[in-house]
Amino acid sequence: MKKIQAGGQDFLLARVRDRYYCTEAYCPHLGGNLSEGTLTGTILTCPLHHSQFDISDGHVLRWTDLTGSILDAAKTQRPQRPLRTYPVKIEGNAVFVKW
């Protein structure tokens, strides 16, 4: 996976086996650079607070690794939201993203 830029915007492009996925480049929790995170299958983990998303559809698996009252405060200040995903089309050696 890597951060790419198109049209003045940053995106995350990832390949899992023979399939490509594109998401927003920064974590919706606190803006961590997702290209510095880890990818296990389609599960993307943010490098900052270990938020996890499924890049196939953007749904949240874990909003943060904070716990207790700190987690409650974090959810109040930054309500959970899915990772934005974008359709990817492959034509020959070219990868196209629709945003």
Dist. CA 45–CA 61, nearest whole Å:
10
Residue 79 has pLDDT above 90, yes or no: no
pLDDT band with cut points at 50, 70 and 90 for residue 92: very high
Please report the pLDDT score of residue 64 as a whole number.
Answer: 83
Q: Strand 85-86's sheet: what is its strand order?
A: 2-6, 9-16, 19-24, 85-86
Q: Which domain holds residue 15?
A: 2-97
Number of domains forming the structure of the chain: 1
Quick one: tokens of 23?
Answer: 């998401």
Please report the pLDDT score of residue 78 as a whole number.
Answer: 76
Q: What is the CATH number of the domain that holds 73?
A: 2.102.10.10
